[in-house]
Amino acid sequence: MSQKFRARGIKTVIGGTHVSYCADEASQFADTIMIGESEDLWPQVIRDFEAGRMQRTYRMDQFPNLDEYRNPRVDLLRQDAYMTSSCIQTTRGCHFECEFCSVSPFNGKNSRRRPVAHVVAEVQRIKERRRSQIMDKMLYGPFSQRFMASLKVFSRIEDGTIFAFVDDLHNSSRTYCKELWTALKPLKIKWGAQCTLFLGDEPEMVKLAAESGCVSMFVGLESIVEESIDETNKPFNRVPQYEREIKCFHDHGIMLNPGVIFGFDHDDESVFPRTVEFLVKNNLELAYFNIMTPLPGTPLFDRMKAGGRIFDHDWAHYDGKHVVFWPKRMSPETLQEGFFWANHRFFSYDSIFRRLFYTRQRIPARLAMNLAFRHLVKRTAPKGSLSPLSRIIQSLQVKLPAFATENLIPNALNAIKEKAADAASQIDRFLQVKVKRGDLPASHPEAQSQSALQLDLEGTLDEPSAKELRKRLLHAVQKAKLEIVVNFEHVRHATPQAFNALLDGDYLQSLKAHASVKFINLKTAFQAGLDRIVPALAWGDETVG
């Protein structure tokens, strides 16, 4: 677009995050580039333009002071083109350093905040103007326009009181939020923002937000895979706490729109159905899916570039909707297809109705937003499909209760690592099965097709859980001809009956008939007990199968 204007002799200026981190490249496409936030730079650009001495580059020297924030002309926006055009910024910057995010590198690692009185005054101005615009639509113009405007007001989809705080981290300061939300109460508005999910650990703050008019929050859930969360440098997100935190928002009438990313190094084919099932189960009203994208200026970009994992350098594809790098545990095609599938499945009619009608609050607005997202998905994304392996991995990834805990054999590996007293006192009541793909170099075109499945067992293995594991393993090898490795390193205790069930000769032969299944760290961890139970077993090199 810039080049088209330049061809007509029109001066062009471009800026923003991408331009700031790819300045040399960007300067080829515009007369002037701006690096960093632009409020303090723009007056100088205008003066230089009028004097005929525009520079090639303008660079921010320091972050603008938000005490002198200039209100943007949101009145110039086409009102019907957005869910709401009443957008306000209250803070900038983020003190978190998520690996994939460009906010803290661009806007700073400390949050800057506008005076609450300035925010309140801007809200009042926008509210009065917007209500006047809506009233004009209801009274004048074509009948269809008057009808739709009246319908939106009647259904409370749009009545001039809906605002969006477009901060990257609205709840960066507890003290500031208390002051702002308290000041918003008398204004009788409805608002949404972006915050951390762990705000749900503070019910009194969520209650205050709801009382001030909060009806919606975008939260960076990112992933339901704990190991993937660890990759993000986002230690404050903890998967076991998600359900409780989500419920806290819902208990106070606040709908959630989680941001979800697919393509972490620990994601495999099962991440798509598992994620959608989690979101539907917990009645998440909306979801915004993205593919992991290494944006220039982020630590993720530096890491993937250094590893030779980026294969697509077309910036038009760096929109969170295209795969531009080699994933570790699935092919780029599988990641792309799974992303499409998740969008269509989450916004299918049965999913929408299952998620929305757990409450009676603002049903018309919630339904309208879901139908708008559904329309967008159907218009812009192919249906996509799941890899056959995704369901197999999902069936193996399970948490099984352990009931029979008599005559337990302790894991010798754990006994070495821990104090004997501690190990004896920690009896897990579950067997957790975690599945991961073995890795070839990520850039290898056949990295996934040649990978094995590894099952890491954790907790207590008793006879019922062993029999359930047997059934799932047999089903898996019948459906997929991949090598399967079962790792016993983290099994804390096991019963003799469990070993008899898993190491039954006929069962092992039935597994071998379909694929190779190996048990590793079994001999090292439980040799003392196994010698008494199955003395005739041929161990080999710490593997069986």
Query: How high is the pLDDT of residue 449?
Result: 45
Query: How high is the pLDDT of residue 526?
Result: 86
The structure tokens listed for 379 are 């218009």
Residue 428 lies in a domain: yes
Q: How many distinct structural domains can be found in the chain?
A: 2
Q: For the purposes of burial, counting CB atoms within 10 Å of the CB of 142, is it exposed (0-12), middle (13-18) or buried (19 or more)?
A: exposed
Q: Quote the longest CA-to-CA distance of the chain.
A: 93
Amino acid at 257: N
Residue 334 lies in a domain: no
Give the pairing type, strands 484-494 and 409-410.
antiparallel
Strands (E), 53-185: 57-59, 87-88, 91-92, 112-113, 162-165
Give the pairing type, strands 91-92 and 112-113.
antiparallel
Are 56 and 29 in contact, with CB atoms under 8 Å apart? no
The structure tokens listed for 161 are 């009181």
- Which range of residues forms the domain containing residue 39? 2-59
At which of 59, 78, 101 does a domain end? 59
Query: How high is the pLDDT of residue 53?
Result: 95
d(C-alpha 76, C-alpha 374), whole Å:
28
d(C-alpha 390, C-alpha 401), whole Å:
24
What's the whole-model pTM score? 0.85
Are 441 and 447 in contact, with CB atoms under 8 Å apart? yes
Closest of 345, 327, 318 to residue 263, by C-alpha:
327
Amino acid at 113: R
Please count the other Cβ atoms lying within 10 Å of the Cβ belonging to residue 109. Answer: 12
Residue 512 lies in a domain: yes
Residue 196 lies in a domain: no
Residue 447 lies in a domain: yes
At which of 59, 79, 97 does a domain end? 59
pLDDT tens track of the chain, all 545 residues? 888 999 999 999 999 999 999 999 999 999 999 999 999 999 999 999 999 999 999 999 999 999 988 888 888 887 777 777 889 999 999 999 999 999 999 999 999 999 999 999 999 999 888 888 778 778 887 888 888 878 877 776 677 788 999 999 999 999 999 999 999 999 999 999 999 999 999 999 999 999 999 999 999 999 999 999 999 889 899 999 999 999 999 999 999 999 999 999 999 999 999 999 999 999 999 999 999 999 999 999 999 999 999 999 999 999 999 999 999 999 999 999 999 999 999 999 999 999 998 888 888 889 989 999 999 999 999 999 998 889 889 899 899 998 877 778 888 887 655 554 454 445 678 999 988 876 544 444 444 444 688 999 999 999 999 999 999 999 999 888 778 899 999 999 999 899 989 988 899 999 988 888 899 999 888 876 776 665 545 444 444 44
Give every CB contact of residue 438 below 8 A, 6+ residues apart in sequence.
Answer: 451, 452, 453, 454, 485
Query: How high is the pLDDT of residue 146?
Result: 85
Query: How high is the pLDDT of residue 538?
Result: 45
Are 14 and 33 in contact, with CB atoms under 8 Å apart? yes
Query: How high is the pLDDT of residue 470?
Result: 94
The helix-helix angle for 271-281 and 388-396 (nearest 10°) equals 60
At which of 19, 39, 59 does a domain end? 59
Helix (H) or strand (E) holding 107: helix 103-107
**What is the phi/psi pair of residue 215, to 5°?**
-120, -10
CATH of the domain at 418: 3.30.750.24
Amino acid at 365: A
d(C-alpha 417, C-alpha 421), whole Å:
12
Query: How high is the pLDDT of residue 536?
Result: 46
Helix (H) or strand (E) holding 388: helix 388-396
